[in-house]
Each structure stands twice: as structure tokens, then as C-alpha cells.
Amino acid sequence: MDNRPIGVFDSGLGGLTGVRELRKRLPSENIVYFGDTGRVPYGSRSHETILQYARQDIAFLLSRNVKCIMAACGTVSSTYPPEEAAKLPVPYMGVVSSAARRAARATRSRKIGVIGTSATIRSHSYELTLRRLVPGAEITAKACPLFVSLVENGYVDGAPPQMQQVTRLVIGQYLEEVRAAGIDTLILGCTHYPLLAGMIGEYMGPAVTLIDPGRAAADDLDQLLAGKGLRASRERGRTRFYVSDVPDSFIHTADLFLGEYRGGTAEQICIDQY
């Protein structure tokens, strides 16, 4: 047993969908979440800048004595080198490999779609991983940068109809090519995107399986902790939130991502110190 917290980070709010899944699967675990709200978004940054930010985010979590780290950010997961992750003092997991493995199990036609930030799609990380897992796969990838802004401004599943109408128009613009490719599995390659899953699913149709990267990573992290004997022994854990910008707006919007697991306070830190 190991009662140290799980460390989770993202460029902003999106990784909270991963926290929600961890809370659901591992209620006894403490979680430390860092959202880099002062430097969001990562998806439009250069490769070098994303690496710098990821290293600082990881350094902060390590300073909180975490027992493992989950990069709940498709952009970082697509960029952070595996050989560097292997040298960290605690186990590290990104969402790309977890989501790709789940998509490989789900597809029947080997036609798979991937949507994500510009940096995630530009990295080809999902495509490279999927081609190893599914020989002969036909992959259709599409950057959907506006989805993050829509989610963080509340234009999500369950929003008022006029707000959903805006989101549906953007979905139609972005996903027309993906739907026309005849895919049967779609990876929501950014942890913001599950909050649009209802509208995306309606547009893609019931024959298309949607893959939530946060849920896939939470499942894999559950197995990792069990395999390494790192599960906590307490009855119920808690989540501490840290951000790099003023926390007021974070807490207000965080409830949208966390659903029934909402609640708590956030503390602002200076990430440039790490």
C-alpha cells in the first residue's frame, strides 16, 4: 500500500475529465491536480515550448511527493519523449497510448478517426501508435482547435439550445471529412472533448465508438497501481487543485468537468519556479 497522492496535470481544465474518471475508479486515492491555466493552451505552441512546460509541470508534481504521474493532456502525451519519461523517479503515463490501445480493441473495420489539438495532430503520435497496434489501419486525423474554447466557455452537452447550436455548427465543419471516411471508431484526442461527446456522437452516428482518453488512462493507471502494489489503504481520498493563474474562474468552471465529483478549492502557484 502507498498513501502518496497521484499526480495529474494538464494545460488547463481538460484534464479534470481524467480526474473525474480516477475519482470514480479509485475513490480511496488522493490526487494532486495541476492546471497550467496561466499558459493555456498548449496545443498551438511549438514542440520546444511544450516540452519546457511539461518538464516544469512534472517537477511541480514531484515536489508534492506523488507516487505516479498522469499527463492528462493529449498535446503533452504526444510530445513528451518516452525515454525521458522512463527516467522519472515515479511511473509516468500519458493518455495517447491508453486511448490508442482502447481504439485498437474497439475497431472492427480498421478505419479509425483521431481528433485533437493542432500540436497533437501535427505530432502524428496517435497515427504511429495505431499503425503498430492495427496493421493496415486507415486513419483519418483532424485538428479541432476551437473545441477547447467552446468547452471552456460552456458550449457543451447540456448547455442551452442556442449555445449547442453554435457547437454543432463547428462540429459539422470539423468532422465532415472524418465522417465521410467511414470510420467506426473515433478517438477524442483531447481531454476537453468528452464534454462534447453527446453532440459529436449524434453527428457521427451510433455505429461509431467514441474513445475517451481520460477514461482509458484511468483504467490503465488502476491496473498499474495494482500491479506495483501502490494502491492507497484509506477509505476515501481527496483532490487538491493547483493552478498557475488566478483560481476563481478555475473553480467555477471545474465543476462542469468534474460532475458529481466537483468541489474543493484551488491554490495558485508560480510554475516558473520549477
Residue 133 C-alpha from the chain's centroid = 21
Q: Which residues are catalytic?
A: 73, 190
Nearest in space to 122 (alpha carbons), one of 181, 179, 67, 79: 79
Task: For residue 105, give every residue at least 6 positions away whose Cβ sits within 8 Å of its Cβ, in sequence order, or none.
Answer: none
Q: Would you say the C-alpha torsion 162, 163, 168, 174 has a positive or negative sign?
A: positive
Helices (H), ranges, 107-140: 118-123, 125-133
3-state secondary structure of 45: coil
Q: Which amino acid is at 129?
A: T
Q: What is the DSSP letter of 185?
A: E
Helices (H), ranges, the chain: 16-25, 47-63, 74-79, 82-85, 95-106, 118-123, 125-133, 146-152, 161-180, 197-204, 213-227, 248-258
Distances (CA, A) of 230 to 15, 66, 67, 146, 172: 22, 11, 8, 38, 44
